[in-house]
Amino acid sequence: MASKFWGNSDSESDEDSQLSDHDEDEVIIGGEEAEKIADKYRIGGDSDSDESDDQRRVVRSAKDKRFDELAQTTVQIQNQININDWVQLQESFERLNKQLEKVNRLTESQVAPRVYIKGLVLLEDYLNQTLLNKEAKKKMSPSNAKALNFMKQKLKKNNQLYQADIEKFRANPVSDVESDSDDGENADDVFSDDDDDDLPEDRPEDLSDDADNPDDGGDWTSAQKKPKEMFPKLDPGQISWEMVDKKLKEIIVARGRKGTDRAEQVEQLSYLARCAKTPAQKLEVMVHVVSAQFDVNPSLSTHMPIAVWKKCVQNILVILDILAQYPNIVMDETSEPEVENETEKGADHEGPIHVWGNVVAFLERCDDELFKSLQCIDPHTKDYVERLRDEPLFMTLAQNVQQYVERLGDMRAAARVALRRVEHVYYKPQEVYEAMRKLSELQSRSGAAAEAGVEGEEEDGDVAMKGVTETKGPASFVVTPEIVPRRASFPSVNRKLMDQLVTLIYKYGDERTKARAMLCDIYQHAISDEYYTARDLLLMSHLQDSVMNMDISTQLLFNRAMAQLGLCAFRESLVMEAHNCLSELYAGGRVKELLAQGVQQSRWHEKNPEQEKLERRRQMPFHMHINLELLEAVHLVTAMLLEVPNMASSMHDMKRKVISKPFRRLLDINEKQTFTGPPENVRDHVMAATQALSKGDWEKAVEVIQSMDVWKLLGKREAILQMLRGKMQEEALRTYIFTYSPYFDSLSLDQLMTMFGLPEAQVHSIVSKMMIAEELHASWDQPTRCIVTHNVEPTRLQALASQFAEKLNVLVESNEKAFDARTGGGGLEGMGRRNRDTQDYADAAGGRRGGDFGGGRGGNKGGRGGRGGRDNFGGGRGGRDNNQGGYNNYNRGGQGGGGRGYSSGYQSTRYQDAYSSVGRTPYQTGPTAAGINRGQQAADAGGRMVSLSRMGSRF
């Protein structure tokens, strides 16, 4: 015995046993002498000793003894299972294996004894049970949990060897006297559920419960549910409604469970759909097929496989077919799927049949998946284009769904669907739309060419897939003809489609739907160069006020619409408007983020992965992008056109009014460079042009600007370049006058005309405007065609006084702000502003913008009405402004004669009024700053006054 023991211990050393040797020998060696030897080794006095004591008493043949030992261990395992002691279980398991080895040596057979198998089954079942029970797993002690993991691996490896035996045992556990009722509970359940008409022995693959076991190898477990085997012995004709129903419920129950193979479930369900007895049942099954297909992709961040998506769309179309064919079938979400047997009613049933499901939700899900897939696919690959070709398919589906819901009279849902359609159309210029239309026609033609017949026909000519569906299983019982058109009808002009959809939405949609539709509408108008329509829509809808409170995706849409509006304004040569639209986008330097066109690395604060994931989910697919380079070019060029003369005019002024901060910043950076190379990117170009323009060298500026590549992206390139040229000439003239008029006593009109290549009338009007706006202190001398300048330098004391007044202003402003913040009453503005500063992106996408566009009006309002509570303050301030103005006038009056001072003062107030009445022009961002700045702007921007009021009249 001792020698055996030693021999044993050698062989056992191969196994990575965690037991110490003396533990083993206690178990293995039954005899008394062995007991003595064992005593020497025994240190801890294990509980195992009892068991070896038991063994000692019985005298039997070696073989019996071994079997007894095995049985003993099995019982032990059972006990340990009861107390959930995995450490002990692990030991027992290893002991079991060793004992088996000995038994086999004795019996000289390779067949594992039944007792052993029983032990394995016990262990396995319990293991699965434990693994499924997450709670218990968490509560385990570390050593226990470790042992459990160890067991998990060991058992899996081990059991593979005895696969067949285990199954046999499971198939017929009763043969064992001690069979436990509670072991393999799952096994029995599933097994009995699985088949009604077949004996378990006939289908050994079907017998295991291990579909539930995620840890099992699965090579023998997952195969058993292939659809073909579902009713293997039955002719499809024999399948009854009940059977299908039962089966369906079974599959549904398994849905969402861990370890359920989703793809397979889909297959099973589609097979069932073919077997369905009544149209209603088929519909029911189809609904589940679709949901299962949505389930195929478990993660939120990845998209669903494209093939599955296509099938899914087809399935929804089939659902619609059924619904169209049998108008008495009603699909809603309220009916209980479990209780009633409504679906048993056949096709000839009169009266409504209720089936659970929601097509609109399906459609939306489909859209989301399409969107996601476009987000994920690399836009520079062919896959992306391929994917884009699926859009008409989706449009078809959407159209059909919409028709269906409209038929039902559920207009709210129809509006939702319409919005989905709108969102696929709004960003497409006419050309792109045309292309899509053509594609759709082409696809439908090729679809028609392909043979039509059984359901599940793929209309986009996916032959391979069709082949698969046809070979799979028999033709379905309920043949559904294609009733619903498989091709979307696109009106020839996208505007028409938009109008039609948007009207529907405005009529029936809820707030968010309407807002989104409105934004899409604005976007669409903007890309089709209808600036005024788009702007009016925007202003009428008051979206700019409320967009901050909307969800981020709507805010993104708003930003996109604003960007397009800006581009549109630029194309219409409305420089100021374009700049106003775009400046907010560029204010924070987070354009990419605001337009959801790529994630921007921010230097200041790291985003946590959670935020980043969220942001990635918001990204626009590539084909919907607005060209950022063009956007930047437009923004900078408009900023340049406004800022260059502005800078020239306020060169010596202490209060530097800044129109575009980002532009100024760029300019500063540019000026700091020791060496400026030839321009490369958009910024360089604009900066170079700015340099030239501020020197009055408009020709060079025009050349630089026109050499930019991005203009190629604009439709009417020539016209726009021409427009730019004109604008730059004008601004160069203004800049020149601002910069150099102090150094001249008089300027010749003819000279200016030749210098800036402008006709006389234009020069005359520009200069006159500047005079009226008090930007230029000069007067015309008609006979000599000269501008006579009246230059007055304020004395040092005067300069100081005005500087002081300004400081005082600042102080009062900030005092009021502080007061607002403290009292909270009128301070909403102040608070909002502060919040806006500190807000992080989550709210800011639109929130930041809220100040603008809306702010233009809000600011005005705030300046007048909002401050009503503290009229004395406002009045005081206004008074001060007037004083300042008066002081300037006084100065000039000394020179230019008494009348001028008065008249210019008058004009400035009038303009101010004109300004506020124009009102909509988004001029102001800071609500509190509105008061003073408005005055200043009225004065400074008066040069543009004429054009503005013209514009105002068009409102």
Partner 1 sequence: MADGNPPPLRSFAQAAQAEVEVQPLRVVQIEGLVALKIIKHCKECMPALVTGQLLGLDIGSILEVTNCFPFPSRGGEDEDELDTDGANYQLEMMRCLREVNVDNNTVGWYQSTYMGSFQTVELIETFLNYQENIKRCVCIIYDPVRSGQGVLALKALKLSEDFMELYRSQSLSGEKLREKNMAWTHIFEEIPVKISNSALVSSLMTELEPEAPATQCDFDRLVLSTNPFMEKNLEFLIECMDDLSMEQQKFQYYYRNLSRQQAQQQAWLQKRRTENAARRASGEEPLPEEEPNNPVFKILPEPSRLDSYLITNQISNYCSQVNGFAGQSLSKLYLMDAFHED
Interface with partner 1 (CB under 8 A): 795-797, 800-801, 803-804, 807-808, 810-811, 814-815, 817-818, 821-822, 834
Scanning the structure block, which residue is given the tokens 């049949």? 353
Backbone angles phi, psi at 355, to 5 degrees: -130, 140
- Contact in structure between 159 and 123 (CB atoms under 8 Å): no
Residue 442 and residue 440: Cα distance in Å, rounded? 5
Which residues are bridge partners to 780 per DSSP?
787
Residue 270 and residue 248: Cα distance in Å, rounded? 10
C-beta of 788 vs 811, nearer to partner 1: 811
- Contact in structure between 296 and 263 (CB atoms under 8 Å): yes
CB of 839 to partner 1, least distance (A): 13
- The CB density around residue 487, as the number of other CB atoms within 10 Å, is 18
- Contact in structure between 548 and 843 (CB atoms under 8 Å): yes
CB of 703 to partner 1, least distance (A): 45
Which residue, among 77, 101, 91, 89, has the nearest Cα to 12 in the 3D structure?
A: 101
CB of 811 to partner 1, least distance (A): 6
Q: Tokens at residue 502, please?
A: 């948007």
Residue 361 and residue 359: Cα distance in Å, rounded? 5
Residue 931 and residue 876: Cα distance in Å, rounded? 11
CB of 640 to partner 1, least distance (A): 32
Distances (CA, A) of 702 to 567, 569, 600, 633, 711: 19, 20, 32, 14, 13
C-beta of 485 vs 825, nearer to partner 1: 825
C-beta of 62 vs 808, nearer to partner 1: 808
C-beta of 172 vs 795, nearer to partner 1: 795
Side chain identity at residue 493, one-letter code: V
Scanning the structure block, which residue is given the tokens 């509970």? 185
Q: Are strands 329-332 and 746-748 parallel, antiparallel or unpaired?
A: unpaired
C-beta of 876 vs 897, nearer to partner 1: 876
Cβ-count burial 542-563 (b if 16+ within 10 Å, e if not): ebbebbbebebebbbbbbbbbb
User: For the chain, how big is the Rg over CA atoms in Å?
Assistant: 41
CB of 881 to partner 1, least distance (A): 18
In the chain, the N- to C-terminal Cα span, in Å, equals 108
C-beta of 300 vs 811, nearer to partner 1: 811
DSSP state, 869?
A: G
CB of 813 to partner 1, least distance (A): 10
Q: Tokens at residue 738, please?
A: 């601002």
CB of 743 to partner 1, least distance (A): 26
Which residue, among 828, 854, 855, 845, has the nearest Cα to 926 in the 3D structure?
A: 855
C-beta of 803 vs 895, nearer to partner 1: 803
Residue 632 and residue 706: Cα distance in Å, rounded? 15
C-beta of 768 vs 891, nearer to partner 1: 891
What DSSP string describes 925-955?
A: --TTTHHHHHHHHHHHGGGGHHHHHHHHHH-
Centroid of chain to Cα 368: 9
CB of 658 to partner 1, least distance (A): 19
What DSSP string describes 200-255?
A: GGG-GGGG--GGG-TTS--TTTGGGG-HHHHSTTS-GGG--HHHHHHHHHHHHHHT
Scanning the structure block, which residue is given the tokens 């009007």? 765
C-beta of 95 vs 817, nearer to partner 1: 817
- Contact in structure between 364 and 414 (CB atoms under 8 Å): no
- Contact in structure between 915 and 934 (CB atoms under 8 Å): yes
Q: Tokens at residue 644, please?
A: 């260059």
SS3 sequence of 137-173: HHHCCHHHHHHHHHHHHHHHHHHHHCHHHHHHHHHCH
CB of 798 to partner 1, least distance (A): 10
C-beta of 740 vs 804, nearer to partner 1: 804
CB of 869 to partner 1, least distance (A): 20
CB of 890 to partner 1, least distance (A): 17
CB of 814 to partner 1, least distance (A): 6
CB of 822 to partner 1, least distance (A): 7
Q: Tokens at residue 865, please?
A: 């009405």
CB of 796 to partner 1, least distance (A): 6
C-beta of 811 vs 842, nearer to partner 1: 811
Helix (H, G, I), strand (E, B) or coil at 904: helix
CB of 160 to partner 1, least distance (A): 47
C-beta of 600 vs 798, nearer to partner 1: 798
CB of 812 to partner 1, least distance (A): 10
CB of 799 to partner 1, least distance (A): 9
Which residues are bridge partners to 329 per DSSP?
353
C-beta of 241 vs 819, nearer to partner 1: 819
C-beta of 528 vs 798, nearer to partner 1: 798
- Contact in structure between 291 and 314 (CB atoms under 8 Å): no
C-beta of 814 vs 909, nearer to partner 1: 814
C-beta of 784 vs 815, nearer to partner 1: 815
- Contact in structure between 939 and 774 (CB atoms under 8 Å): yes
C-beta of 491 vs 824, nearer to partner 1: 824
Which residue, among 689, 770, 754, 785, has the nearest Cα to 728 in the 3D structure?
A: 689
C-beta of 2 vs 810, nearer to partner 1: 810
Residue 938 and residue 911: Cα distance in Å, rounded? 6
CB of 927 to partner 1, least distance (A): 17
